[in-house]
Amino acid sequence: MTETQAPVAQRDSPYFGLDYYDEQFGAWFFGRESDGSKIITNLRAARLTLLHADSGVGKTSLLRAGVTWRLHRLADDMFAKGRPVRSIPVVFSSWKDDPTTELAAAVDAAVRPYLGDGGTPARADGPLDAAVEAAADTVNAGLLIMLDQFEEYFLYRSREPVPERFADELARCVNRTDLRANFVIAIREDAYAELGDLFKGRITNVYGNFLHIDHLDRVSAEKAIREPVEVYNRQPGVTQPVTVQDELVEAVLDEVRAWDQPALAANGGRDRIATPLLQLVMQRVWDTERAEGSAELRLSTLQRLRGVRMIVDDHLGKALGSLSGADREAAIDMFDHLVTPSGARSPNRFPTWPSGPGTPRSRLTGCCGSSTTSGSCGPFRPRPGRIPSGPGVTRSSTTCSPRRSTGRSRPARNSAGCAGSGGWPPWPWPCWSSCRLWQRCSPTC
């Protein structure tokens, strides 16, 4: 796939912290080139592809900045040259109300830039497949439709005007061999099995074509550290290029492994990198260096910040600093409802959370509303299609260890005052940060 040089969205930092990459920042997105190519190949070749991964791996960033950005560049280039556009990408993740109607509107919006001469799509009323067919015929191009965060459809489907209407409409699209559209369903690992139940009797062999996305390996993670700095240095107005010490790269990669548990490491997790944690740490190092006027990202700065775990701890501490004592107590009550007993993310909505004495739902709403903006209740800002606060918001964005605390009891701490053995728990990093947040919330800590 050949692409022309596209304008680069300007940024003051090459790193994104706990944010996700939107399509406009595709030029800053590195480490997933191979995964992006696999998805594009499957999108073009197969009517339906299932894309599944653990929560926190970065499916949304990959689909938007790694896939859609590339496909739009190619389509824009062909359109500008007056040549036929082969395919147009559509990313959709708005599940809370009527996804059938909203997906039809998203398809309509996606094809408009390729109509030319101010034309409008021949929007079809009625079934989803008719709307997709009308849009594809209007621009004479295939549609590559990516359904992101599909696990949220299971949460919100009870709100559909007609029960499971979207599942029926999507199945009709997939089963129509004459429809010029292919689909990717991107779903979290712990909800992957539910697809079989949802599409049983609707789609034959729904698991026939699938892709699994893992955490970044060490080589790809190093690219995600170094390459964005090069993009930053090429921006107009940057007179002093920034460099990255090799020692810093090695130290960060050593400390941001996705899994520290021996059993998981034995299954290939030893050299996998927790991408959100990597971005958070590099953003903090970057901010510190730039504030001091330094043009080099140094290992000594990471050491001065006391390493990765203290950077995360400090991030959580700042988030909690804006909460009142009552809100901190509400945060304690929330943790038991963020993950299931098996350790998976719990898609709880505010109406399902307890509202006991001293912890009214309004207090929970206020607490989450405050901490969401700083990323403490979940590693990412609300994704496209989500509500930042209020009913229907999920607050934990990562799979946690089955060894979580239950009830009102706090995590067991050792003499150093930290949960787990050896001062820090051998958990996936988001669970560790939840533990630290719980400790900070507790008036007895």
Query: Which pLDDT belongs to residue 148?
Result: 97
DSSP 8-class letter at 49:
E
Q: Measuring CA to CA, how many Å separate 3 from each of 70, 74, 83, 252?
A: 8, 5, 14, 33
Query: Which pLDDT belongs to residue 363?
Result: 58
Query: Which pLDDT belongs to residue 319?
Result: 74
Query: Which pLDDT belongs to residue 119?
Result: 63
C-alpha–C-alpha distance, residues 243 and 51, integer Å: 36
274-326 pLDDT per residue, tens: 888 999 999 999 999 999 999 999 999 999 999 988 998 888 888 777 777 77
DSSP alpha helix (H) spans, 275-376 = 275-291, 299-304, 307-321, 325-335, 361-372
Residues 179 and 40 sit within 8 Å (Cβ to Cβ): no
Q: Which residues are paired to 283 by β-bridges?
A: none
C-alpha–C-alpha distance, residues 48 and 422, integer Å: 47
Stretches in the chain below the pLDDT threshold 70: 1-6, 118-125, 258-270, 331-445
Query: Which pLDDT belongs to residue 421?
Result: 33
| Spatial CA neighbour of 126 closest among 178, 173, 58, 69 | 173
**3-class SS at 227?**
helix
220-245 pLDDT per residue, tens: 999 999 999 999 999 999 999 999 99
Residue 336 parent element (H or E) = none
Query: Which pLDDT belongs to residue 236?
Result: 94
**Residues 6+ positions from 86 with CB-CB distance below 8 Å:** 75, 78, 141, 142
